[in-house]
């Protein structure tokens, strides 16, 4: 059997995406509770993610969604990592700025512990991609679109998308604020 370059690239990206999911799930949790949720998006669903990002760019008047949609289009896969909207019922934490979890929840704010756990999980995941020399970029825009499309579990409150790419030059490099990305 001979595997060509494209076959190896596709297989390698998916292996790294799976390892990134594992790294996110095993990352330390400040709460000791698992609030991390993940998914890996490829193929037609990745195209739907790109299209949703373009629609959000127009709806919000935010060109960074369109710029990032170009990166998602050119990526081979997108790893999505999020956290649930869990509140831990602590009466004296207050790190969120509210007196307790009940006040935080009633204000519609996010628990700092779960969001911090998300940051640690994302950092663990992208370190795997970096160690494997897979180009990647953390995008809140892709996370927002993934949430709106239901591409991650229903109990996810906040998430980021991390497109993955294997090319001779990183597709995430020349991305100034006014960068124009030509979609295929």
Instruction: Please give the backbone phi and psi of residue 81, each rounded to the nearest 5 degrees, phi first.
Output: -130, 130
- Please list, in sequence order, all residues whose beta carbon lies within 8 angstroms of the beta carbon of residue 166, skipping any fewer than 6 positions away: 9, 12, 13, 76, 134, 135
Flag whether 107 is in a domain: no
Rg (C-alpha) for the chain, rounded Å, is 18
Flag whether 23 is in a domain: yes
What angle do the packed helices 63-74 and 140-149 form, to 10 degrees?
A: 80
Flag whether 21 is in a domain: yes
Number of domains in the chain: 1
- Which structural domain range is residue 154 located in? 5-83+118-164
Flag whether 31 is in a domain: yes
pLDDT at 88 (0 to 100): 86
Flag whether 90 is in a domain: no
Flag whether 123 is in a domain: yes
CB 27 within 8 A of CB 121: yes
- Other CB atoms within a 10 A radius of the CB of residue 131 amount to 11
Report d(CA 148, CA 53) in Å as an integer: 10
Flag whether 134 is in a domain: yes
pLDDT at 180 (0 to 100): 52
Residue 141 belongs to domain with CATH number: 3.40.109.10
Flag whether 111 is in a domain: no
* Nearest residue to 125 (alpha-carbon basis) of 113, 142, 138: 138
Sheet arrangement for strand 156-165? 36-41, 77-84, 156-165, 135-136
* Nearest residue to 48 (alpha-carbon basis) of 35, 39, 36, 60: 39
CB 166 within 8 A of CB 136: no
pLDDT digit of tens for each residue in the chain (184 aa)? 999 999 999 999 999 999 999 999 999 988 788 899 999 999 999 999 999 999 999 999 999 999 999 999 999 999 999 999 998 888 888 899 999 999 999 999 999 999 999 999 999 999 999 999 999 999 999 999 999 999 999 999 999 999 999 999 998 887 765 555 555 5
């Amino acid at each position: 059997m001979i595997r060509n370059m494209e076959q190896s690239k596709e297989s390698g990206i998916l292996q790294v995406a799976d390892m990134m999911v594992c790294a996110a799930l095993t990352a330390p949790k400040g709460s000791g509770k698992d609030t991390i949720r993940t998914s890996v998006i490829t193929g037609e669903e990745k195209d739907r993610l790109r299209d949703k990002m373009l629609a959000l760019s127009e709806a919000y008047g935010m060109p960074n969604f369109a710029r990032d949609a170009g990166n998602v289009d050119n990526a081979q896969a997108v790893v999505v990592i999020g956290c649930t909207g869990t509140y831990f019922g602590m009466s004296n934490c207050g790190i969120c700025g509210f007196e307790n979890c009940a006040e935080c929840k009633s204000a519609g704010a996010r628990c700092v512990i779960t969001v911090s756990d998300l940051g640690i999980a994302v950092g663990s995941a992208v370190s795997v991609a970096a160690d494997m020399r897979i180009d990647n970029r953390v995008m809140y825009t892709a996370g927002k679109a993934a949430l709106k499309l239901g591409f991650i579990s229903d109990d996810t409150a906040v998430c980021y998308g991390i497109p993955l790419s294997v090319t001779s030059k990183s597709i995430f490099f020349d991305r100034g604020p006014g960068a124009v990305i030509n979609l295929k």
